[in-house]
Structure 1
Amino acid sequence: MSPRTRPTDSRLRPARLRPADLLRLGLIGPRTRRLRSSLCALGISLGIAAVIAVTGISASNQAHLMERLDRLGSNLITVSPGKDVNNKEVPLPETAEKMLGNIAPVQKATATGKTTAHVYRNDLVPEEQTNSISVLATRRNLLTTLHGRLQVGRWFDTASENLPVTVLGDQSAQRLGISRPGERVWLGGQWYAVLGILTPNELTPELDTAALVGWPQATAHLGADNHPSAIYLRAFTERVDSVQRVAGATANPATPSAVAVSRPSDLLKARAETQNSLNGLVMTLAAVALLVGGVGIANTMVVGVMERRGEIGLRRALGARSGQITTQFLIEAVLLGFLGGITGLALGATTVLTYATLNGWPARIPLYTLAAGPLTAVVVATLAGLYPALRAAHMPPTTALRTT
């Protein structure tokens, strides 16, 4: 028999749906059940938004902290009096500041000293109402060593450090009701003019609640001695640890154990790490939100299978294969997860941007979060829709048609 006369195979062959056809079938559910699908995708989007917001706000906070440390410097070391075995404070020697300044890696050294004076808004305020403001003697190089700044006014110079003038910390100025230079305060039993007001300094918060006076003026009229109450050192960054190890013995060779040496930037980092440890709780809540969203998708898909049993039975009777039915319902679940992931990404990014802007932080969102957010939503939706899809695919046509 020649090839031309060979009979053709008249048996029907199962048709294959093209990807575009499968996509259109997958859109039937979301298009016909818009409210239910929107609420289902909302559960996923809230979980993704929570993940984006938590990681983004944490990253923004870290970036803000790093900017502050870069500005203030993480190479600051503070040396202050410690306590002996009897829990009594041991004053630093008068030579401590000079000896610490002679350490080779130390770039700058400065100090403050205690006084017996108190400061008040005027001479009519009772003596016991000090508002917890301390009066400190200060060196002229304190501001440059601490990388401090002034809100208003000016700092001490060679002439003003010998005059009855003061520079107030930020909180001290607020408690005294001082807002501009030139105003007077009652300090140590006489009037002092306010020379300037400092901006807050995270590395030296003790200066925010202090009234600073030039060292010569403080020793001459305010009962200050030459024993420093705090010495601030700026060291080369790569040698900070070395300076920190020898600072106690250098400041007080007789009793080095009675010297407190600290690095304020470590406190800031520890505070940030403590705050970040709480992110685990929020991430757990975000995971719960994702789980709830996944359960919502599973519930929607199961209800969709039950409502569309007649459609499933008819399609099976017309030759649709179980794999095509499975793919259709999986596409619906994946679409809901993808839409929820994209919406959550936008919502979370907006939250981070708004929060960072309100706090004056640089907005930062880790790139891995941007990629993992929608991907996680799709994975959760796929897992949630897998069982309903398989259930729909293995439903016998006769059973499905009888239930219409």
Structure 2
Amino acid sequence: MSAALPTPARMWPRDVLKVGAVGLRTRPMRAFLSSLGIAIGIAAMVSVVGISSSSQAELDRQLDALGTNLLTVTPGQTFGGDEATLPDAAESMVARIGPVDSVSAVGEVKGANVYRTDRIPEAETSGITVLAARTGLRSAIGIELSSGTWLNAATSRYPAVVLGAKTADRLGISRAGADTAVLVGGEWFTVVGILERAPLAPELDTAALIGWPVAEALLDFDGHPTTVYTRSDPAKVEQVQSVLGATANPEQPNEVEVSRPSDALAAQKAAGQAFTGLLLGLGAVALLVGGVGVANTMVISVLERRAEIGLRRSLGATRRQVRLQFLAESLLLSTLGGVGGAVLGALVTAGYATYQDWPTIIPGWAVGGGVLATLGIGSLAGLYPAIRASRLSPTEALAAP
């Protein structure tokens, strides 16, 4: 009666992990370099998604603060292709629309330039526009002041100017005050205020704003508004938008352009999402390259450890156990890279969001998806080397140099 063959010892999951970690412990530098490729790919993907999400959260926060109910009316072109003009009464006519809560306007003072001193050549205008502004403009748009005060009923009749954020930077002025003046259209104007950036009205960032009366009195302003700003009932913005052009210029409604500034910010968001898709594609390529690196490492590991494989097989290890050993090693290698990449991506996102003063948003699905992707790549990368290792016979493996 023949003796029964001994049953191979069962390997518990903990044993599989311990055996699979042997290659990582004995060759730490190779393991680090192999997992680094995957870490870079995961870090790129997590940081791209995180920065994009943080940017979108900041944009949503801006829109919540600024509102999406601001509409602007500007002159378009005449039938002959010339620049049209808005009627002097456009502002008052728009104010009669029922759902409109507030109306204000600016008018471009043509031919007027702004200089810091009278010694600057006339050609160096710095791209600054002079605008006559109504006193209710700031409250209608919702712009904050970084320094000084806004125009009021008194200062709008005298040579006083409020500078846009970029205008102040270009002129080298950081604070408003009675001792600070600029040359506007050949006249000295006292800088009474400096605006914060205006996301919904970027044309004001590069403008010097003066009172409507003083613009007519000193700079030959023709009194025609070039932009009318309206705030409406948020639930009726679309209805107001549909009648705004005909109301502002009843005689020539086709010569009026109506826009919603928040749509431009939404378009930026959409463009950012398209760019994010491109960067995610690049991150996926980096992840694929990292997976190839892991596969290469595992193949070399099998070749170098044939003697070890032969010894384990001769001591009773089954082919299945050898496959599990190398598959576990590949998964551990990939997981280390995935976790490290996820942490690195989160740190990059947090650092960049903090630098930009954005809310830090790191979607959980991006981190979880990245780690799961590394497990899939680790499985695929280690499958062939594991099968190859399990097919080595004990005698062939032990006879290898």
**The two structures share one fold, judged by TM-score above 0.5:** yes
Distance 2:61 2:313 in 1: 64
The residue identity in structure 1 corresponding to 2:151 is: F
Give the Å deviation of 1:308. Answer: 1.4
Look up the match of 1:341: 338
Question: CA offsets per residue over residues 345-366 of structure 1, 9 Å max, x none?
Answer: 1111111111111122211111
The residue identity in structure 1 corresponding to 2:345 is: G
Identify unmatched segments of 5+ residues in structure 1. 1-6
Q: 1:125 to 1:337 in 2, by over 3 A?
A: closer
Look up the match of 2:357: 360
The question of 1:225 aligning with 2:222 is answered yes
Give the Å deviation of 1:61. Answer: 1.2
The residue identity in structure 2 corresponding to 1:148 is: I
Determine which of 145, 166, 183 is the counterpart of 1:150: 145
Determine which of 256, 275, 286 is the counterpart of 1:278: 275
Distance 1:299 1:273 in 2: 40
Look up the match of 1:55: 49
- TM (norm. structure 1) is 0.94
The residue identity in structure 1 corresponding to 2:340 is: T
Look up the match of 2:380: 383
Distance 1:241 1:221 in 2: 39
Look up the match of 1:23: 17
The residue identity in structure 2 corresponding to 1:90 is: A
Look up the match of 2:130: 135
The residue identity in structure 2 corresponding to 1:156 is: L
Distance 2:287 2:130 in 1: 55
Distance 2:173 2:5 in 1: 97
The question of 1:311 aligning with 2:304 is answered no
Secondary structure of the corresponding residue to residue 179 of structure 1: coil
Secondary structure of the corresponding residue to residue 167 of structure 1: strand
Distance 1:126 1:27 in 2: 73
Identify unmatched segments of 5+ residues in structure 2. none
Look up the match of 2:170: 175
Distance 1:15 1:255 in 2: 92
Give the Å deviation of 1:392. Answer: 1.0
Distance 1:74 1:188 in 2: 35
Secondary structure of the corresponding residue to residue 17 of structure 1: coil
Give the Å deviation of 1:398. Answer: 2.1
The residue identity in structure 2 corresponding to 1:213 is: I
Q: Which moved more, 1:156-165 or 1:27-36?
A: 156-165
Distance 2:257 2:79 in 1: 14
Secondary structure of the corresponding residue to residue 130 of structure 2: strand
Question: CA offsets per residue over residues 165-217 of structure 1, 9 Å max, x none?
Answer: 11111222233333322212222333221111111112111111211111122
Determine which of 53, 69, 73 is the counterpart of 1:75: 69
- RMSD after superposition: 1.9
The residue identity in structure 1 corresponding to 2:66 is: L
Q: Which moved more, 1:127-136 or 1:346-355?
A: 127-136
Look up the match of 1:294: 291
Distance 1:163 1:356 in 2: 43
Q: What percent of counterpart residues are identical?
A: 49
Give the Å deviation of 1:99. Answer: 1.5
Distance 1:44 1:121 in 2: 55
Give the Å deviation of 1:130. Answer: 2.9
Within 5 Å, give how 1:176-255 maps onto structure 2: 176-180=171-175, 181-182=177-178, 183-255=180-252
Distance 1:126 1:399 in 2: 88
Determine which of 385, 398, 401 is the counterpart of 1:401: 398
Question: CA offsets per residue over residues 70-91 of structure 1, 9 Å max, x none?
Answer: 2222221110001022111111
Secondary structure of the corresponding residue to residue 84 of structure 1: coil
Question: CA offsets per residue over residues 325-347 of structure 1, 9 Å max, x none?
Answer: 11111110111111111100111
Give the Å deviation of 1:220. Answer: 2.5
Look up the match of 1:3: none
Q: Which moved more, 1:167-176 or 1:228-237?
A: 167-176
Determine which of 238, 251, 259 is the counterpart of 1:262: 259
Within 5 Å, give how 1:46-125 maps onto structure 2: 46-116=40-110, 117-125=112-120
Distance 1:292 1:45 in 2: 11
Question: CA offsets per residue over residues 214-260 of structure 1, 9 Å max, x none?
Answer: 11222222222332110001112222222112111111111111101
- TM (norm. structure 2) is 0.94
Q: 1:311 to 1:187 in 2, by over 3 A?
A: closer
Secondary structure of the corresponding residue to residue 102 of structure 2: strand
Q: 1:15 to 1:107 in 2, by over 3 A?
A: same
Give the Å deviation of 1:10. Answer: 5.7
Determine which of 156, 159, 173 is the counterpart of 2:154: 159
Give the Å deviation of 1:155. Answer: 0.8
Give the Å deviation of 1:154. Answer: 0.4
Distance 2:33 2:118 in 1: 67
Give the Å deviation of 1:159. Answer: 1.5
Q: Which moved more, 1:46-55 or 1:265-274?
A: 265-274
